[in-house]
Structure formats: C-alpha cells, structure tokens
C-alpha cells in the first residue's frame, strides 16, 4: 500500500474527475489524501478520502512559492510515496523534486500543440519565456536546477510529470492535428462520478410533465472577461425559452439568478444528477461538460469561450451531436434557430446515443489507477 497525495485546483472540472481516480486508488488498497481548497473538503469526505486544506490554487501562475510551502508542510508531517498533481500546478511538481518523491500529472483539458494554441505565437512565446524565468527563480531559491522540459513553461503543463501524464479526455474528442503526442502521455478518457446504464432508445426518465428540458451550463473559471458572455447567454436562454413547454435549468453559479428575466431553476448539481433529465444542453464548451453530454447522449449547443473550446466544439460538430454558436452571434433569433435545427433533426440525438453507448464502456478512473499502481510497483521492483 502506498500513501498518495493528490493536489488539485478547486474548479469543478478539475477536482471532480481527479477525485474519482483517488476513489479507485483507495479500492486498490492505497491511502489517498486530497490536498486542495477547504471548500472541496466535503467532496473528499463523501468519497472516503483523507483531506488536507491548502491555498493559493485559484490562479496557478501566481503564488507558486506560497503553495509550495503549504505542500511542503504537509509532506513534512505526512511522508508521501507518490504525488499526483493537476498539471496546471507547478508547486506540487517542485515539491516532488525537492523531496525526491515520484509524481504523476493529470490534465482535464486538451494538451494543445504549440501551433494550435490560440493567439499570437510570438506573444505566447514571450509569455512562456517570462513564466519560465519565474519558475527558474523559484527553483533556484530552493536549490534546484533550471527546468529543462519546454512544456513546463506552459500554463497547462507547468506541473507535467516525466513519468506518467494522464489526459482525461475521450478519444472521440481528440484531433491528432491539434494535440501533443508524447511517450509519457496517456489519453484515458473522462472520469465521471457515475456511469448510466446503456440504452438503445431515445427516451429519457419518465417525468410528470412533458416539458422539453434545457440545461444551461456555466463556467466555474473566475475570469472577468468570461462573465459578460456568460451573463449574455444565460439571459438570452431564459428569454428565448420562457414558455410553458420548456423547463430551463441553469447549472452553476447561483449568483446568476439575479440576471435572468424569468425564474428558471438555478442549482449547483453534478452532471450525473441533472443530465439524465435533459433534452438539450447549452454550454460554454468546457471539456468536462462536453464529455458528460457525450456520456449521457445529449445534443448540445456550444458557445466556445476558452482556449481549447473552439477545437472541441468543431470535433463535437464533426461527431454530429452539436451546433456551435460563437459569442458574437448570441441573439435570441440565432439561439432559437439552432434549437429548432437540433430539435427537428433526430440524427443529433441518434448520434449522441451511439457515442454514449460506446464511451460508457470506458473506465478511465480504473485504467488510471492501474497505470499509477503499475508505476509504483515498477519503481519498487527497481529498488
């Protein structure tokens, strides 16, 4: 049995799938600790994981030394055999080096190749160079050599492990022209909290009414520039579908209740609680949400906001399960026309169902736990 520390951001799209890997590791006999913000302690307790609160995760590129101190204090109190870290966090990877602890990194988004990263390549290179200087200074302060891996200067791969990097993305969403292909990378798929039974028909769970259920998903990423667009599409959805035949459920931030023009349900459910009821999901295009839609066989309208969202939206469109609505196209008329096209064409639902039945056979959390255990056993044999 190994004592394993998992260090992750508090964001739902990060902490929820990573916890599922922790659950599988405990079932394989390991002692697993979750190190994250105190707000997610209840998730660790619900899933029978040990918990230790740390801070400084909200903005991974800042407060690296502060997080490093928090992680180091934990390691000094609790000897650790393996660190599993969110690949966007550099501090746990540095701590692993400092204490000679092997590490595994986990990524919950697409590892885009440098050429596929949005924006100006020259600007991106300058930002990466500045980040690398910052990391190297922190490493020097801790008597470590400069980083030699070029990926470590990228925000999404700052905590990349040289031993094993798990990418929690379904193969169906991978376009090899846009992602990194590296020997240590393993594309294992999504790690949902629950897997629904397979289905061969288009019906959903019986309800007392016949309403068309639309789930509107919002992002938990605290970026100011996304707030205006999020508010716009939430408000537009609540106006367009303000009819008795619809039920609109806004999943995410309860504070959005104040901006809606009607009174839809506003809640903070996990996908496995609400998606079985949904006929359509309107989402910002985060990888975790898209994968939940594929898992439950739900057609989508995707409003891409983040760096990899457009690439993911294009892939979902190629799969025949979604329509894309760009942020500058958000109007009541365009949104309703997208809805009508999906609602009137059964192939969207049929395609979604076919993919759902395929991805339900995957077990990424168990596969990940086995890969991690094999790594531990291999290192033990080497000793």
pLDDT digit string (tens) for the chain, length 383 residues: 899 999 999 988 899 999 999 999 999 999 999 999 999 999 999 999 999 999 998 888 899 999 999 999 999 999 999 999 999 999 999 999 999 999 999 999 999 998 888 888 899 999 999 999 999 999 999 999 998 788 899 989 999 999 999 999 999 999 888 999 888 999 999 998 877 666 554 455 555 567 899 999 887 666 666 788 888 998 999 899 988 889 888 876 544 443 344 444 444 556 777 888 899 999 988 888 899 999 999 999 999 987 678 999 999 999 999 999 999 999 999 999 999 999 999 999 999 999 999 999 999 999 999 999 999 999 887 76
Q: Please report where in the chains the tokens 């459920």 appear, as a residue.
A: 249
Give all strands of the β-sheet with 322-324 in edge-to-edge order: 265-267, 246-251, 212-217, 280-283, 300-302, 322-324
First to last CA, the chain: 16
pLDDT of residue 199: 58
Domain ranges of the chain: 3-192+363-382, 212-359
Measured CA to CA, the distance from residue 344 to residue 220 in angstroms comes to 32
In angstroms, the Cα distances linking 363 to 84, 174, 186 are 19, 17, 14
pLDDT of residue 259: 39
Question: 3-192+363-382 with 212-359: one CATH topology?
Answer: yes
β-strand partners of 267: 251
Half-sphere exposure of 367 (CA within 13 A, CB side): 16
pLDDT of residue 250: 83
Measured CA to CA, the distance from residue 142 to residue 67 in angstroms comes to 14
Instruction: Tell me phi and psi for residue 39, to 5 degrees.
Output: -65, -15
Q: Are 62 and 131 in contact (CB under 8 A)?
A: no
CATH superfamily of 212-359: Glycogen Phosphorylase B; (3.40.50.2000)
Radius of gyration of the chain (CA): 21
Range list of β-strands (E), the chain: 3-7, 31-36, 50-53, 82-86, 103-107, 165-167, 185-187, 212-217, 246-251, 265-267, 280-283, 300-302, 322-324
CATH code of the domain occupying 3-192+363-382: 3.40.50.2000
Helical residues (DSSP H) of 150-258, grouped into ranges: 224-240
pLDDT of residue 266: 45
Query: Which of 49, 53, 60, 48 lies closest to 11 in space, CA to CA?
Result: 60
β-strand partners of 86: 106
Residues making up the chain, counted from first to last: 383
């Amino acid at each position: 049995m190994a004592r394993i520390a998992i260090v992750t951001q508090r964001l739902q799209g990060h902490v929820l799938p990573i916890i599922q890997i922790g659950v599988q590791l405990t079932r394989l006999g390991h002692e697993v600790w979750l190190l994250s913000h105190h707000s997610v302690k209840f998730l660790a307790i619900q899933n029978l994981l040990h918990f230790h609160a740390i801070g400084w995760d909200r903005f991974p590129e800042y407060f690296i030394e502060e997080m490093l101190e928090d992680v180091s204090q934990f390691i000094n109190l609790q000897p650790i055999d393996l660190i599993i870290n969110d690949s966007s966090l550099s501090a746990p990877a540095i701590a692993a080096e400092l204490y000679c602890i092997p590490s595994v990194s986990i990524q919950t988004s697409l590892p885009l190749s440098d050429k596929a990263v949005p924006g100006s390549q020259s600007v991106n290179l300058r930002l990466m160079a500045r980040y690398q200087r910052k990391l190297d200074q922190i490493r020097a302060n801790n008597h470590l050599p400069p980083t030699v891996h070029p990926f470590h200067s990228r925000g999404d791969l700052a905590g990349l492990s040289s031993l094993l990097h798990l990418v929690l993305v379904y193969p169906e969403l991978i376009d090899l022209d846009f992602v990194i292909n590296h020997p240590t990378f393993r594309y294992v798929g999504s790690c949902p909290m629950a897997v629904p039974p397979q289905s061969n028909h288009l019906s959903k769970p019986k309800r007392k009414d016949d309403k068309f259920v639309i789930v509107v998903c919002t992002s938990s990423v605290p970026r100011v520039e996304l707030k205006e667009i999020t508010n716009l599409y939430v408000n537009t959805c609540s106006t367009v579908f303000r009819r008795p035949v619809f039920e609109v459920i806004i999943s995410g931030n309860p504070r959005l209740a104040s901006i809606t023009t009607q009174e839809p349900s506003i809640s903070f459910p996990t996908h496995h609680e609400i998606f079985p009821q949904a006929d359509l999901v309107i989402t910002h295009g985060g990888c975790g949400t898209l994968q939940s839609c594929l898992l439950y066989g739900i057609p989508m309208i995707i409003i891409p906001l983040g760096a990899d969202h457009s690439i993911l939206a294009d892939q979902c469109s190629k799969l025949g399960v979604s329509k894309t609505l760009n942020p500058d196209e958000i109007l009541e008329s365009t949104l309703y026309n997208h809805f009508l096209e999906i609602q009137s064409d059964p192939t969207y639902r049929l395609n979604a169902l076919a993919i759902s039945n395929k991805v339900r056979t995957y077990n990424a959390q168990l596969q990940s736990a086995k890969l991690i255990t094999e790594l531990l056993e291999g290192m033990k044999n080497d000793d």
